[in-house]
Amino acid sequence: MTTAGGSLGGSTPKPAAAVGNAPLAKLPPAASEADKFTRTTKKSLDIALVNLTTASMDVNVKTTFLAKDEAGKHEVLPEKTVDNKVTLQPGAPQSFTTEEVSFTHTAAHRPVVKAAKPTGRGPVATVEPASGHAYFGYKVEVFQGNDLVGTALSDTAMSEIH
């Protein structure tokens, strides 16, 4: 009797690695201890602009991605500023997406130390401090020439200013 995908009864084939004397496939090396606590976040912004004047307008949109330093004073820093030049037609909304910016940080953690004695308890490891930059927010500024004509801030960036 057969069913879709094979037959019932009979012997099961041996796994490919166990056939003959073929060696088992090597496994990838285990992740380092810090890798278990490391996170990478990628952020981009969808920005919509509208020109409320009656003439077309060339603008420069400066988008600053903000990060919180996970080590030291935990201060908010600009991670990367992305510039986009856009020509806005009168009354017509225009949208674009900024390039992606990566943020990588490692949380504070205590590495696992193998026990040297058969009691099962290893020595207590010191805490590895947090490091890197975590995403915090954004600031968008729109310039026409040298004049600032528009701005937007994330709620988190606004809380840092006040």
DSSP line for 54-89: SS-EEEEEEEEEEEEESSTT--EEEEEEEEEEEEEP
What are the structural domains, with CATH classification, of the chain? Answer: 31-161 (2.60.40)
Give the mean pLDDT per block of 10 residues along the chain (162 residues): 36 42 43 73 94 94 92 86 95 93 82 64 70 90 96 85 54
User: Tell me, what's the pLDDT at 10?
Assistant: 38
Helix (H, G, I), strand (E, B) or coil at 161: helix
User: Tell me, what's the pLDDT at 83?
Assistant: 96
The answer to whether the pTM exceeds 0.95 is: no
Computed from CA positions of residues 56, 45, 140, 79, in that sequence, does the dihedral angle turn out positive or negative?
negative
